[in-house]
Amino acid sequence: MKQIITSWRHVFKLDPDRFLEDSALEAVCLSGTDAIMVGGSDGVTYDNTIDLLMRIRRFEVPCVLEVSDLKAVVPGFDLYMIPIVLNAGHPDWFIGQHVRAIEQYGYIIPWEQLIPEGYIVLNQEATVARITEADTALDSALAGSYAQFADKLLGLPIVYVEYSGKIGDMELVSEVWRKLNNSRLFYGGGIADAESARRAAAVCDTVVVGNAIYSDLQGALETVRAVKAGPSGAVDPLAGGSI
Ligand code: 1GP
């Protein structure tokens, strides 16, 4: 099951703490995206997570939980993504919370369903940056070094460049991508239409779209085809899940 992430080009991220009408959820789930990631930095609870999971499960799309709060870990997801914030200002977000979780729940953790993600948080205004006290003032070279640390020393399957809420510096993203050998590069932040999706897709492995689902659903849906079409505009039959 873990191998599935290597085929993902496009992912929608849904926040259990935000309202989404049934028709909008249906459009997202049937959009041709490769997976739905459930997660948020704030206000994620067991109840709102299980509610959202049950609504998504009416569709066939893979559904994974990005764990941000242990109290909101719900069984029944395909995979569990475990963020490790590489540039966190506080060690809790790099290792502290993780070790405490293992100490408490190690005996029931489904290890084979866990996928660690090495986050590089780069938008200082984002909630995740505030909570983790991330050092967001990284130039391309330093961001690339964090990425290499995650890839070559920690062996993480995913490096996630996170600009949540705003469009990122695509040159920096591209530089980070070039530094990776084995980790997949996820990019998230400000992707809201076909054009921004195409630009991001050209410099990473997987494009994550969040906010736009709630602010401009039509624009968000257009990102799927844009990512899968590639620079030439033709849908890549090998990219999987094309619409
Ligand atoms: C958030 O990376 C995702 O964790 C997506 O970012 O919400 O800005 O699309 P946006």
pLDDT digit string (tens) for 202-221? Answer: 999 999 999 999 999 999 99
CA dihedral (169, 160, 74, 134) in degrees, to 10, reads -70
Going from the Cα of 11 to the center of ligand 1, the distance in angstroms, rounded, reads: 10
Residue 46 maps to a domain? yes
Going from the Cα of 188 to the center of ligand 1, the distance in angstroms, rounded, reads: 5
Kindly state the tokens that stand for 175: 């530089």
Residue 239 maps to a domain? no
> What integer is the mean pLDDT of 147-174?
98
Cβ neighbors of 172 (< 8 A, separation 6 or more) are 122, 138, 139, 140, 143, 161
Question: Is 232 a residue whose pLDDT tops 70?
Answer: no
Q: Check which CATH number belongs to the domain holding 207 and give it.
A: 3.20.20.390
Question: Which atom of ligand 1 lies closest to the CA of 187?
Answer: 2
Residue 235 maps to a domain? no
Kindly state the tokens that stand for 184: 């997949």
pLDDT digits (tens, 9 = 90+) for 50-73: 999 999 999 999 999 999 988 899
Query: How many domains does the chain contain in total?
Result: 1
Going from the Cα of 103 to the center of ligand 1, the distance in angstroms, rounded, reads: 31
Q: What is the pLDDT of residue 242?
A: 33
Averaged confidence pLDDT in the chain: 94
Ligand 1 mutation pick, 10, 13, 193, 207, max ligand atoms within 8 A of CB: 13
Per the listing, tokens 């469009």 go with 167
Residue 195 maps to a domain? yes
Residue 183 maps to a domain? yes
Question: Is 134 a residue whose pLDDT tops 60?
Answer: yes
> What integer is the mean pLDDT of 31-44?
96
> What integer is the mean pLDDT of 188-207?
98
Residue 241 maps to a domain? no
Q: Which residues are annotated as a binding site for sn-glycerol 1-phosphate?
A: 13, 160-165, 190, 210-211
Q: Are 153 and 185 in contact (CB under 8 A)?
A: no
> What integer is the mean pLDDT of 84-102?
96
Residue 9 maps to a domain? yes
Cβ neighbors of 213 (< 8 A, separation 6 or more) are 12, 14, 20, 24, 28, 220
Residue 24 maps to a domain? yes
- Cα→Cα distances 163→24, 37, 93, 188, Å: 24, 16, 17, 6
Question: Is 144 a residue whose pLDDT tops 80?
Answer: yes
Structural domain containing residue 86:
2-229
Q: Are 12 and 37 in contact (CB under 8 A)?
A: yes
CA pair distance 86, 230, nearest whole angstrom: 30
